[in-house]
Structure 1
Amino acid sequence: MTTTTDTHCPYCSLQCGMRLAAADGAETLVVERPGFPVNRGALCGKGRSAAALLDPASRLGTPLVRERGELRAATWDEALSRVARGFAAIRAEYGADAVGVFGGGGLTNEKAYQLGKFARVALGTANIDYNGRFCMSSAAAGNRIAFGLDRGLPFPLEDIPRTECLILVGSNPAETMPPALRYFRELRENGGTLIVVDPRRTRTAEQADLHLQPLPGSDLALALGLLHLLIADGTVDTGFIEARTTGFGQARAAAMAHWPERVERLTGIAADRLREVAHRFGRARTGMVLTARGPEQQSKGTDTVGAWINLCLASGKAGRLYSGYGCLTGQGNGQGGREHGQKADQLPGYRSIEDPAAREHVARVWGVDPDTLPRSGRSAYELLDSLGAPGEDGVHGLLLMGSNPAVSAPRAARVTQRLRSLDLLVVSDLVLSDTAQLADVVLPSAQWAEETGTMTSIEGRVILRQQAVDVPDGVRGDLWLMRELAERLGVGRGFHDDPETVFDELRRASAGGQADYAGISYDRIRAGDGVFWPCPAEDHPGTPRLFLDAFATPDGRARFAPVTHRPAAEEPDAAYPLYLTTGRVLAQYQSGAQTRRVEALNSAAPGPFVELHPLLARRLAVAEGELLAVTSRRGRAVAPARITDAIRTDTVFMPFHWPGAGRANTLTNPALDPTSKMPEFKVCAVRVEAAGAAVVPAGAARSGQGEPV
């Protein structure tokens, strides 16, 4: 007998609808679910092959503990006892903040919520953050400054084809979320203009009416220059500015210092091209700007987002139908994952952990004294960089759930060293990831099709992943894990392993907050196609479109950002004369911990590469496929050359999905945005040279080139 279950893809933030067909003794299959509006049945290769992740051969099936330097199988009782004893000993010696928690943007809302509660109530630590800090924290900060509220898209995807002009900055949905590309094609079919900003001519850029290829790290100057031209053209919307915004004077003064010829020098984009873009966007009746990791993963990412928001506000293209600024979230629950408490500075409902009223509300739901709740802790990279530091200043034990920072963190060689230096590293994951291989205790987790839980998509749509297959023997869910550990740590009440029970508590904890889920229930989600937050009551319809009447600031007005251009934290020089930028490829996802285990995906994208322009290749005397060594001030990576005229001559590109010699994040710069604490993944200075026949082995130390890699 075959059963079918409506659920959602385990990968990106589109959360495409799919069905799983499962039969006794037969392979589970992914089939189309055409009724779900986001993807209308379409799936990318990752989604179509997602059932391969359920193969027992590709995932963990029993707890592992380290003994005499090697991981061996253990019982759950042995593994959990070792974790509880270890964390208790660290807390007794160094204090509660010496135990840290690192979460993931792929965790369900229920897991993210309970992880934040576990850190603050069961462990009593302030030091919890998650890998979503590396995803869209700059956009989140810019949204909150400008609009008073952060939701990746303040409108549904279906609005994109209805706008007249869209500027897509630093995003490549053709490879990162292919089913979304349809919306951009439909925009052009409807007569709209698509403008893509990217240093590379990507598959997405090939779809555009205009493609701008700026210097990496110059997106802020570009946005300021376009605002300058809107002002000079007379296409600012003075009525909108006066009625619905504040702070235009400072933004105008900053923009006027960025005239076209100056911006041409800063960005490498011809002044006439800048004028064409400003003319098209400024004169369109409706328009959108969508950013992604390109402009956001910079040490000035928050200011850059603010500058693009300024462009929308000045032209009256925000807070109106088919207009606005949005961010294309990356991870599957990048939105929900940061709303309910696994960020260092937040409590559920997108509340500030420093707000007395927020602390009182959440503590009441949790049944604890608000004075016992910790304050803000370290952000993601700061937390990772503190691992193993001496005394009470360091984090000596870490619970890591659903993340792989040994591959995905900036300055990854140092992060790997810090992970190795811990007294106790505990990793909960569905596979033996690169980080799990370093752990003292590894706990096998149930995955997407084996458990039920909610996710919040790129649109702010809360959807339900439903269990379709049984959890394998020896595997447990993360909610169960947290309940068991809390009990062993002496906190026997308040932690549950039933996801709907946890979600109902999340609803109460979020009630009255900015990300208000109080009116959302499993039954409501099942009855439709998800529910958009905020949804404060069960008779509330949800909010697919934000800001049409007012912005979420105290006075209802949007705030212009008073920003000006500044260079990247690290610019090319004589020793490191080129820019490096990083990103993703179609067949792999994030750190590759899952997709590298799927044969079809691994065959399509088997390993890292260095993309460079033919003129640069000629100067280096390298041919297609020859090994290149890319060196930054932090280390060295080696990968084959991929020669293409789709990239700037002064820039090289590496995808970041792989560990070992070709690990791109060995090179990247952890310089942090002062507001969002986002590391500068997207731009650093490197030198490139032929590597000869020898590939550098992962983990090898080398003198004279910075840190060991």
Structure 2
Amino acid sequence: MSSSLIGKTPGGEPFFAGRTQCPFCSVQCKIRMDGEAKPEGLSAFRAHGDDNAASEGRLCVKGQNAHQHALSGERLLHPMVRRGGKLVRATWEEAMRTAVGMFAASAEEGGPDAVGVYGGGSLSNESAYLLGKFARLALGTRYIDYNGRFCMSAAASAGSKTFGVDRGLTFRLSDIPKAECIVLAGTNLAECQPTLMPYFNRARENGASIIVIDPRATATAAASDLHLPVRPGTDAALAAGMLKVLIEEGLIDEAFVESRTRGFEELRERAVNQMTLPQTAEFCGVREDLIRRAATMYGRARTGMIMTARGVEQQTDGHLAVREFLNLVLATGKIGREGCGYGAITGQGNGQGGREHGQKADQLPGYRSIADEADRAYVASVWGVEPERIPGPGVSAYEMMEMIDRQEIRTLLVMGSNPVVSNPNVSRVREGLEKLDGLIVADMFLSETALLADVVLPVTSYLENEGTLTNLEGRVLLREAVRPAPGECRHDWAVLGDFAERLGRAEGFRFRSAEAIFDELRLASRGGRADYYGITYDRLRREEGVYWPCGEAGGGSGLMFERSFAHADGRAVFSAPPQNTENGRTTSSAYPLLLTNGRVLAHYLTGVQTHRSPVLEAREVANFLEIHPAAAKRIRVRDGEWARIDSEAGMFYARCRVTDKIREDTVFAPMHWSGSQNVNRATLPDLDPYCKMPGFKTTPVRVLPYGGSSEEDDRSGLSAGPAALV
């Protein structure tokens, strides 16, 4: 740390000014911290946006107040173990000894696969890498996955199948103003990545048309030229309808299709026999003329981009829905040149890097496949073990929860995640976690998951833990620490090293710094699709950030696929599955509305961090339900009143916001609250067969006015009435 002392935290620890990085969304804005020392030893800290290539010095309200949770009096500052049914303070020695005993007991009784590991998309690249190595070598388990399964898995699998590699953006952020037409499907950038909006504003100033596909008239839609209010779950059909228009209007780039792709003839044949445009319009709930207009705007533009996010991806056909949008990109040849490309708007801070280096069930570092013999052999050589030491593929995050419920996984380590809130069907998830012989949680706070744990380990925050993260455009960034660890907090990667030593697996885990881990990560990723070998900490300090792939010859330009795609033959692949005319779960008289969930500006993920920020918490203190005036009138709920939302899986409560900015057949609730306000109490456990993404966006529900106490309310602690929900 090369910083200057400016004051002390409420706990008395010194705080240092300096340059850090926002811990929240995938833009990874740079922050300059400063403060004014006061006589009583407490400083008033301020966060300013610092110049960088991604956000250009901008900082949203979350970044401006991120330090509040890091300095919160609720921070865990010492380990805890459960004694007599209660979590009590413990020494590190006791906590680690207890946790290792749980690992060993479960492995002895059920084999190494009786232990599971659950990571997070906000972990640094170094911690994500080491977590995967720890699971496979120190624990010997195949069961590791992470919460990014609920964020990027549909786009990642679709990109891999189509292009041969998955990266959030195939273009640079600086290319956005060069696009003549931009399609934003299922993304509300104005609230989820607000520091990116000036790129789109500049594109419009340059004459670009912006098309937004979303069942809600969001702030992003308000800034568009055309809004298509699609019925949730029908995005694949909508994109297929747009392609049908492109074919009919002769807007296919035949030369590009012929020279750089394969599979288009099958797609062209399907387009002839698929739903007609009027049928598509009726199925999607979007006027036919709007679909035609959107397709021709994109097709006639010389340059264009399509970006998707969770609105398209968090469906049980999310993989295929993304592939339908990728068909549009390929059919028009709008990729591999400036002002063109596809982008999956990554959600979590390290959602990109977190899925590249081994904490996914099916991956090894560098985007290598754990099922591929050559990939296994290479990583094994870096790790100094025989390939047979590396277990095979595991299962997805929610499938791990099902295994826990069946008591096939007996002990679980959770690092950087809060699965008891973020998973679908959370009532079953909670029941499963309560059956575990051992639950070990490493976190900054007593999250809802940590409250169930047998061992809780305090770890450092973004202000204290140095490491690299990879933003949505594939730019690897170095986040420096700006203050020492408070209390007894330890870096998550140091905790893993201590575990490995106590398990008798110290070899390969004796790292003294994040940089030392990164140097091994570089080697493990060398030659892989996500090649970091040419990136070093020194280079990141000099250049601010480096795009991958970056081999020995140096980094890329950030613009992907200029000459070829990543498949062996260099061609991209179209997708032409039979058209789905049913959309999985449908509404009924019992459950007449479709529930979709998402994010709001003030909060992040399950709110573990942002609810500890007084400024952010004051902006949104309770969950809410957006509902159309006509639907509200039928149900007899009014604006500001509490309602109960039921599905086949369960129920939650939220305060109604009656608005005409949502479809009449759809309701929306954010994902940032727990307990009785947790939207995932109602979310169904159906999974996409390709990528195991849950269908967060398409749960049939009924909405009822809050009517006072019931048996379910009493179990939820709500017998005091709606006021108890806040």
Deviations 1:367-405 (A, max 9, x none): 111111100001111011111424xxx100000001011
User: Within 5 Å, which residues of 2 pair with 1:27-176?
Assistant: 27=43, 29-176=45-192
Answering whether residue 602 of structure 2 is matched by residue 582 of structure 1, we say no
Residues of 2 paired with 1:402 and 1:12: CA distance? 15
Deviations 1:258-282 (A, max 9, x none): 3210111110111111111111111
Residue of structure 1 in register with 2:321 after alignment:
304
Answering whether residue 204 of structure 2 is matched by residue 191 of structure 1, we say no
Query: Which one is further off, 60-69 or 692-701?
Result: 692-701
**Residue type matched to 1:16 in 2?**
C
User: Within 5 Å, which residues of 2 pair with 1:436-451?
Assistant: 436-451=450-465
**Residue type matched to 1:437 in 2?**
L
Residues of 1 paired with 2:214 and 2:619: CA distance? 24
Counterpart contact for 2:137–2:390, Cα < 8 Å: yes
Q: How big is the shift at 1:358?
A: 0.8
**Residue type matched to 1:106 in 2?**
S
Residue of structure 1 in register with 2:535 after alignment:
520
Q: TM-score, normalised by structure 1?
A: 0.97
Residue of structure 2 in register with 1:374 after alignment:
391
Change (3 A) 1:596 1:314: same
Where does the alignment leave 5 or more consecutive residues of structure 2 unmatched? 7-15, 719-724
Residue of structure 1 in register with 2:563 after alignment:
549
Residues of 1 paired with 2:399 and 2:287: CA distance? 39
Counterpart contact for 1:199–1:212, Cα < 8 Å: yes
Residue of structure 1 in register with 2:13 after alignment:
none
Match of 1:636 among 633, 651, 658: 651
Match of 2:417 among 384, 403, 406: 403
Answering whether residue 345 of structure 2 is matched by residue 328 of structure 1, we say yes
Match of 1:686 among 688, 696, 701: 701
Secondary structure of the residue that 2:73 maps to in structure 1? helix
Residues of 1 paired with 2:638 and 2:322: CA distance? 38
Residue of structure 1 in register with 2:446 after alignment:
432
Deviations 1:36-73 (A, max 9, x none): 12112211111000111222403111111111111000
**Residue type matched to 1:156 in 2?**
R
Residues of 1 paired with 2:91 and 2:714: CA distance? 32
Residue of structure 2 in register with 1:568 after alignment:
583
**Residue type matched to 1:451 in 2?**
N
**Residue type matched to 2:29 in 1?**
C
Secondary structure of the residue that 1:672 maps to in structure 2? coil
User: Within 5 Å, which residues of 2 pair with 1:124-523?
Assistant: 124-256=140-272, 257-390=274-407, 394-495=408-509, 496-523=511-538
Counterpart contact for 1:230–1:278, Cα < 8 Å: yes
Q: How big is the shift at 1:34?
A: 3.9
- Paired residue total: 699
Residues of 2 paired with 1:374 and 1:292: CA distance? 32
Residue of structure 1 in register with 2:34 after alignment:
21
Counterpart contact for 2:685–2:695, Cα < 8 Å: yes
Residues of 1 paired with 2:680 and 2:309: CA distance? 18
Computed over aligned residues only, the root mean square deviation of the Cα atoms, in angstroms, reads: 1.6
Q: TM-score, normalised by structure 2?
A: 0.94
Change (3 A) 1:388 1:226: closer
Change (3 A) 1:52 1:280: same
Residue of structure 2 in register with 1:706 after alignment:
none
Residues of 1 paired with 2:622 and 2:434: CA distance? 25
Counterpart contact for 2:36–2:45, Cα < 8 Å: no
Secondary structure of the residue that 1:442 maps to in structure 2? strand
Residues of 1 paired with 2:707 and 2:639: CA distance? 13
**Residue type matched to 2:285 in 1?**
G
Residues of 2 paired with 1:578 and 1:233: CA distance? 36
Answering whether residue 20 of structure 2 is matched by residue 7 of structure 1, we say yes
Q: How big is the shift at 1:6?
A: 2.1
Counterpart contact for 2:49–2:59, Cα < 8 Å: no
Residues of 1 paired with 2:246 and 2:714: CA distance? 50
Residue of structure 2 in register with 1:705 after alignment:
none
Residues of 2 paired with 1:700 and 1:26: CA distance? 39
Q: How big is the shift at 1:128?
A: 0.1
Change (3 A) 1:493 1:699: farther
Residues of 2 paired with 1:33 and 1:593: CA distance? 23
Counterpart contact for 1:660–1:698, Cα < 8 Å: no
Counterpart contact for 1:483–1:497, Cα < 8 Å: no
Deviations 1:174-217 (A, max 9, x none): 11111011111111111000000000000111000000101100
**Residue type matched to 2:324 in 1?**
A
**Residue type matched to 2:520 in 1?**
E
Secondary structure of the residue that 2:538 maps to in structure 1? helix
Residues of 2 paired with 1:111 and 1:542: CA distance? 24
Q: How big is the shift at 1:677?
A: 0.8
Residues of 2 paired with 1:461 and 1:697: CA distance? 47
Q: How big is the shift at 1:20?
A: 2.1
Counterpart contact for 1:6–1:33, Cα < 8 Å: no
Where does the alignment leave 5 or more consecutive residues of structure 1 unmatched? 703-708
Counterpart contact for 1:339–1:348, Cα < 8 Å: yes
**Could you tell me the percent identity over the aligned residues?**
48
Match of 1:674 among 668, 689, 693: 689
Residues of 1 paired with 2:430 and 2:253: CA distance? 51
Q: How big is the shift at 1:33?
A: 4.4
Counterpart contact for 2:262–2:574, Cα < 8 Å: yes
